[in-house]
Amino acid sequence: MAREHNETRVDERIAYLEEQGMEVIRPSEDELAAFREQGQPAYLEWLGEQDIDPSFIDMALEDAGMTHLAE
């Protein structure tokens, strides 16, 4: 319930930050995809070095629909 509540207020909070003078960048879907493709392999490598059961990483990737990154 808390997550749902927070998600409903995201746009309101971003608008407030813009009003306070913060520059807000809204990347396109293509830009987000490029960012993920660049960053995810390094993050997955780092996760593999941690004391985390690999099955938990696999489950998280599956939940996010990103199992192709583990290949």
pLDDT at site 2 = 86
pLDDT tens digits for 13-69?
Answer: 999 999 999 999 999 999 998 998 888 888 888 988 999 998 998 898 888 887 887
pLDDT at site 68 = 80
Q: In whole angstroms, what is the distance from residue 69 CA to residue 58 CA?
A: 10
Q: Does 5 score more than 90 pLDDT?
A: no
pLDDT at site 65 = 83
The count of structural domains within the chain is: 1
Contacts for 35 with CB less than 8 Å, ≥ 6 apart: 27
Domain of 31, in residue numbers: 2-70
Q: Does 71 score more than 80 pLDDT?
A: no
Q: In whole angstroms, what is the distance from residue 6 CA to residue 9 CA?
A: 5
